Copies of this chain bind each other. A is one copy, B any other.
Amino acid sequence: MKLTVLSGGVGGARFTRGLLAHLATTDPGSPVTVIANTGDDMWLHGVRVCPDLDTLMYTLGGAVHEEQGWGRRDESSRVSADLAAYDVGWDWFTLGDLDLATHLARTQWLREGLSLSRTTERLAARWRLADQGVRLLPMSDQPVETHVEVDDGLIHFEEWWVRHRAALPARRFVQVGLDTAEAAPGVLDAIRDADVVLLPPSNPVVSVGTILAVPGIRAALRETAAPVVGVSPIIGGAPVRGMAAECLATLGVDATAEAVARHYGLRATGGVLDGWLVDTADKDAADRLAADGWRARATDTLMHDVPATARIAAEVLGLAGR
């Protein structure tokens, strides 16, 4: 069974880890392609930082800081602390020492002329993702950076997200570079050739939304013979994690499981989804979606731990008929 996942950072990484645990018992050896959002990427202090790719690598590679959900376990911040003494700005964004090793290796290879795809493949080799059947792809090899229009103008998404904790009213999100971006090699084929395409409970605006905005990806999702199913990142009217409500508000979308599903849209009517797994708290939403032709179901969607997440993955694959 060939699976393709469109993923942001923490939520997508945890979901994919659960999916792998589920497949290990039911379909061992199933190839899983993870297409990661790279809209949060940036050049910081001269190195290339790719938050979602790294969260996926560390989580699937067993090196993630478990409580935090991102970054490396046993991390320290000796470099960042010293760097602050040079007054370089962005001192609210700490680059961990171990995490910096990843950025340095990536920057070296990018500067040597390798694509982000090839660079990601080399980084992932250390974390043995291929041994788990996982191929990690950036959504695009071209830089796409999400900026946020606030009262004072455009700021980088990470400044809005990390520094301001999404508290500055956002008028709109601007994906700088998107016009000339292409899907990375393998991305469109992974969607077209999949048996199931999965949307994990990632941020529907700045994670999955950015992936969907890459030219060709939305069309590939409409064309694929595979069912496209997702897990709601909203439970009972609030995001499980992160500041998705603020992002959705910018688009005029309510922070509810149903509104997010309708924002993605049903494939039969021009959207990208066939099925939507919601939490038991949102059973009514599942019923209304089902009445409108969705494959919808309610279950406990809190990813407490890997076994719980494996069960959620099984449920959403069930929506896809697998």
A residues touching B (Cβ–Cβ < 8 Å)? 43-48, 76, 78-80, 82-83, 85-88, 97-98, 100-102, 104-111, 122-123, 125-126
Contact = CB atoms under 8 A, between A and B. Distances in A.
Nearest to A74: B78
Given A47-B47, A100-B100, A88 B105 contact: yes
A76 B108 CA distance: 21
A47 B83 CA distance: 14
Contacts of A108: 44-46, 88
Given A79-B97, A97-B79, A126 B86 contact: yes
Nearest to A86: B105
Nearest to A78: B97
Contacts of A97: 78-79, 82, 97
A107 B111 CA distance: 13
A78 B98 contact: yes
A109 to B, nearest CB: 8
Contacts of A76: 78
A48 B108 CA distance: 11
A79 B258 CA distance: 45
B47 A46 contact: yes
Contact of A107 (B47, B78, B80): B47
A79 B78 CA distance: 9
15 contacts: A46-B48, A46-B107, A46-B108, A46-B110, A47-B47, A78-B78, A79-B101, A82-B97, A82-B101, A83-B101, A83-B104, A86-B123, A87-B125, A87-B126, A88-B109
B101 A86 contact: yes
